[in-house]
Structure 1
Amino acid sequence: MKIAILGLAQTGKKTLFTLLTGRDVPAARKPEEAIEGIAPIHDNRVDALSKLYRPKKTTYAENQFVLCPDVTENGTSRPWMEAARRCDLICMLVRAFDAPGVFHPSGSVDPERDRALIESELLLADMQLVETRLQRLAREKKGGQSADQALEEEILNKFNAALEEEKFLSTVELDPREEQAIRSLGLATRTPILYAYNVSDDEIGRDFGPGTFTISCEIESEIAAMEDEAERNEFMEELGISDPSLDRINAALYDALGLMSFYTAGTDECRAWTIRKGSSAPVAGGKIHSDIERGFIRVEVVKYDDLLAAGSEQEVKKAGKMHLNGKEYVIEDGDICNFLFNV
């Protein structure tokens, strides 16, 4: 999963990127340059499985984060948009903290104004892309139009009408065939967006509404730097923080994209895999290797809670809690799977 970190200047994007990936942003980075980093998703279930199996290797799921250039108002070019178009989700970081030593591009802190500004820029970027694509299709139409081109033109006209009304393209309903036809365009307002509000330490619990979460990047950086666990827990308790921000961010990202985790476990490796909710067993197996999806026979499934309660595979089998399922089985969050296949 590739996630764009997007926002105005001086919102804390670099701090958030470093917090998530552990990678420092080079001081010599050009303003128009995007930086990428990988972030393992810490998972208590993987830890518990590794403790049970003592495998040679433990592998967490991963997110790939893209630190986009600063969003600028009414720009003739949008390097931040080019970086965001390649991503599965946009994490829009909005400044909601006031710090005398940190200037704001607009001269004052106003989270809702800034959010509206960025949304306006996303709409403008999509409008330009849709108009350019429609103009190209019109030129190509003179030499004859294929069925695929006609379908794309029809969809883009729908999009153009929505954008003229300042509606995000995510509000336009498409069938699977239409969705496939425009997938490669990378339209920003059709990409899922998670709004992250960077707050001061006295507003960590503030609620900005559905589809949002709050984080104090400065405080979370301090927490991440604490090596003593007792000291860290005490500090978090004082601030009313129950879970580390990374756990909350990853949970919010998964919810925004409709994702979940299943697991494979054994003495060689314990590993988390990310799939979309509602995925069938063959599709889940295909995440591991395409041969599994192609030659799927069945899948042995143990529920995570059942395995931990039993204490071992042998005991969970004795309890009748290991189930064989066919290709129609829909994988559930936390399933521990052993795929049987033949190619």
Structure 2
Amino acid sequence: MPPKKKVEEKKLLLGRPGNNLKTGIVGLANVGKSTFFQAITRCPLGNPANYPFATIDPEEARVIVPSPRFDNLVEAYKPKSEVPAHITIYDIAGLTKGASAGEGLGNAFLSHIRAVDAIYQVCRVFDDPEIIHIEGDVNPVRDLEIISNELRLKDIEFATKHLEAAERLTKRGGQSLEMKKLKEEVELVKRIIALLESGQRVANHTWTVKEIEVINTMFLLTAKPSIYLINLSERDYLRKKNKYLLAIKEWVDKYSPGDVIIPISVCLEERLSHMTEEEIKEEEKAINGASALPKIITTMRKKLDLISFFTSGADEVREWTIREGTKAPDAAGVIHNDLKNTFILADVMKYDDLMELKSEKEVQSAGKLMKKGKEYVVEDGDIIYFRAAAGKN
């Protein structure tokens, strides 16, 4: 018999982001964070002024997730209400060297980072004498190191306090299961501190389910999944060249392995944000380039193992966000807790089947409308009608 094919274990993810994904925009002052925020959200929030700490309190806005499937379902059903999926974006004040020790706005915006599920880290690689760089000149690797160091130093502080508290509890002694668990936690936190001191991020390493349960209680800054947005001039973005790109890739590969780098021109995005959809298409054709915003949004969802299911009908078409691997009752719970608690079954259609057969009736006639129970794992693109007890559906 041929040898069994080895099944690659999926890396467990930190955190538990749900239907309302919160993402923070992080970086040094004057790297383009607030202008990027205004472009991606198409709103006048934020404060893209040319001086440090222009943004003090984090601004917040919802961003619609680009979804051709949602658009096609809306076209098919022509519902009274359309509710696309979204992510919530926070424009967080610029970090500075010494933030972990309270410099600048210090602890205030580090706490803002602690509150989000994931991070867009903006790194400036364009030269512009009109826009002050807080460190005096453009040096993206230095900037990446400053952000990394501040987040790691704060995490070392968090982890050290956690370790001290856990060690105090172990001094009680005994051989109970609780004591064994505490001792394992102490060893885990020591490993985390050593990892941070070596220059690494918690998010870029593999952890067991038990370890993740502990790490999630610590709310570490470096446990946040990150995407690096490299802010280029419009010229460099369109020609896909910049002298700093290789050095940035080498730094990310070493200190943040596995994380995604996406080139962007905030200047271009800001210009496109004032245009209609038709004007954007014409401009993109004229410059032979495209906005990076759709990729930035969808890549973050993919990085967090987030998928979509749909509820569709004449009254409403809505796209819901869940973690990959979610079972039907938990997916129903995203809509309403009552649906989870009184779940009976789920009527499931595949998006591709509906698009091919054109109607729910034809899907049912073809025997492709499936009835699934509590153990069904929802798949990306499923169109679901949940049935629950007591007439709740």
What is the TM-score when the length of structure 2 is the normalising length?
A: 0.79
Q: Which residue of structure 1 aligns with residue 267 of structure 2?
A: 218
Whether 1:93 aligns to 2:122 is: yes
Whether 1:312 aligns to 2:332 is: no
| Counterpart code for 1:7 | G
With over 3 angstroms needed to count, the CA separation of the structure-2 counterparts of 1:222 and 1:171, relative to structure 1, is: closer
With over 3 angstroms needed to count, the CA separation of the structure-2 counterparts of 1:252 and 1:300, relative to structure 1, is: same
From 184, 201, 215, the equivalent of 1:168 is 201
With over 3 angstroms needed to count, the CA separation of the structure-2 counterparts of 1:228 and 1:130, relative to structure 1, is: closer
Q: Which residue of structure 2 aligns with residue 325 of structure 1?
A: 372
Cα distance in 1, alignment partners of residues 33 and 310 from structure 2: 32
Q: Give the share of equivalent positions with the same residue, in percent.
A: 33
Cα distance in 2, alignment partners of residues 260 and 239 from structure 1: 33
Q: Which residue of structure 2 aligns with residue 122 of structure 1?
A: 151
From 234, 246, 251, the equivalent of 2:282 is 234
Cα distance in 2, alignment partners of residues 46 and 307 from structure 1: 13
Per the alignment, in what secondary structure is the counterpart of residue 92 of structure 1?
strand
With over 3 angstroms needed to count, the CA separation of the structure-2 counterparts of 1:294 and 1:151, relative to structure 1, is: farther
Q: Could you tell me which runs of 5 or more consecutive residues in structure 1 were left unpaired when the two chains were aligned.
A: none
| 2:60–2:91 Cα contact (<8 Å) kept | yes
Whether 1:180 aligns to 2:213 is: yes
Per the alignment, in what secondary structure is the counterpart of residue 340 of structure 1?
strand
What is the 5 A alignment of 1:35-184? Answer: 35-75=59-99, 76-77=101-102, 78=106, 79-139=108-168, 147=179, 149-184=182-217
| 1:6–1:80 Cα contact (<8 Å) kept | no
| 2:30–2:131 Cα contact (<8 Å) kept | yes
Q: CA deviation at 1:112?
A: 2.3
With over 3 angstroms needed to count, the CA separation of the structure-2 counterparts of 1:30 and 1:238, relative to structure 1, is: closer
CA deviation profile, 1:286-341 (whole Å, cap 9, x unmatched): 21122222333322221212212222111222223222222332222111111122
Cα distance in 2, alignment partners of residues 55 and 341 from structure 1: 23
With over 3 angstroms needed to count, the CA separation of the structure-2 counterparts of 1:251 and 1:178, relative to structure 1, is: same
With over 3 angstroms needed to count, the CA separation of the structure-2 counterparts of 1:96 and 1:238, relative to structure 1, is: farther
Whether 1:190 aligns to 2:223 is: yes
Cα distance in 1, alignment partners of residues 203 and 358 from structure 2: 45
Q: CA deviation at 1:70?
A: 0.8
CA deviation profile, 1:254-297 (whole Å, cap 9, x unmatched): 12211111111011210000111222222222211222223333
Cα distance in 2, alignment partners of residues 12 and 304 from structure 1: 38
| 1:265–1:271 Cα contact (<8 Å) kept | yes
Cα distance in 2, alignment partners of residues 37 and 301 from structure 1: 32
| Counterpart code for 2:220 | L
| 2:42–2:273 Cα contact (<8 Å) kept | no
Deviates more, 1:269-278 or 1:74-83: 74-83
* Pairwise CA RMSD: 2.4
Per the alignment, in what secondary structure is the counterpart of residue 166 of structure 1?
coil
What is the TM-score when the length of structure 1 is the normalising length?
A: 0.90
Q: Could you tell me which runs of 5 or more consecutive residues in structure 2 were left unpaired when the two chains were aligned.
A: 1-20, 250-258
Cα distance in 1, alignment partners of residues 24 and 97 from structure 2: 18
CA deviation profile, 1:56-94 (whole Å, cap 9, x unmatched): 211011211111111101232133221111111011011
Per the alignment, in what secondary structure is the counterpart of residue 225 of structure 1?
coil
CA deviation profile, 1:174-203 (whole Å, cap 9, x unmatched): 322332233132101111111111111122
Per the alignment, in what secondary structure is the counterpart of residue 161 of structure 1?
helix
From 324, 330, 335, the equivalent of 2:382 is 335
Q: Aligned residues, how many?
A: 341
From 32, 44, 49, the equivalent of 1:24 is 44
Q: Which residue of structure 1 aligns with residue 254 of structure 2?
A: none
Cα distance in 2, alignment partners of residues 14 and 42 from structure 1: 21
| 1:151–1:181 Cα contact (<8 Å) kept | no
Whether 1:300 aligns to 2:347 is: yes
| Counterpart code for 2:79 | P
Per the alignment, in what secondary structure is the counterpart of residue 109 of structure 1?
coil
Whether 1:10 aligns to 2:58 is: no
| 1:295–1:342 Cα contact (<8 Å) kept | yes
